[in-house]
Amino acid sequence: MLTIASEIEALARFGRALADPIRCRILLTLREAPAYPADLADALQISRTRLSNHLACLRDCGLVVTVPDGRRTRYELADERLGHALDDLLIAVVAVETDRTCPDAETKGCC
């Protein structure tokens, strides 16, 4: 059973992962189907090195897992419910003022 502290930590990890547009794109791609790093890099049009760094962050946040497949490693969402959560977030209405930015918008980093 999750405690409040661990629930908050889980939400914070999810939030940090979603704070980067590339990680969002990776999660949305993996929501559709598992993928290999080379295919993800091509689909997202980013270098494999850059992708690798973002995948490491998503692994550290507990959102994606690796699955050995012969000599290759496939990535997928750690829990299928994450895909549903992403779907819900995409249709959620966010109330923002167009002339405001989040105070943490300049903060970079990962889990």
* Percent of the chain whose pLDDT exceeds 90: 61
In a domain? residue 105 = no
pLDDT at 100: 61
pLDDT at 93: 67
In a domain? residue 32 = yes
In a domain? residue 60 = yes
Residues of the chain with pLDDT below 70 are 1-5, 93-111
In a domain? residue 69 = yes
Distances (CA, A) of 51 to 41, 79, 80, 97: 6, 21, 22, 32
In a domain? residue 110 = no
List pLDDT tens digits, range 32-51. 999 999 999 999 999 999 99
Q: What are phi and psi of 73, to 5 degrees?
A: -125, 125
In a domain? residue 49 = yes
pLDDT at 10: 85
- Domain count across the chain: 1
In a domain? residue 54 = yes
List 35's β-bridge partners, or say none: 75
pLDDT at 57: 94
Range of the domain at 69: 8-91
pLDDT at 26: 97
CATH number reported for the structural domain that contains residue 81 in this entry = 1.10.10.10
Helix (H) or strand (E) holding 64: strand 64-69
What is the C-alpha separation between 89 and 109, in angstroms, rounded?
Answer: 22
pLDDT at 20: 95
In a domain? residue 67 = yes
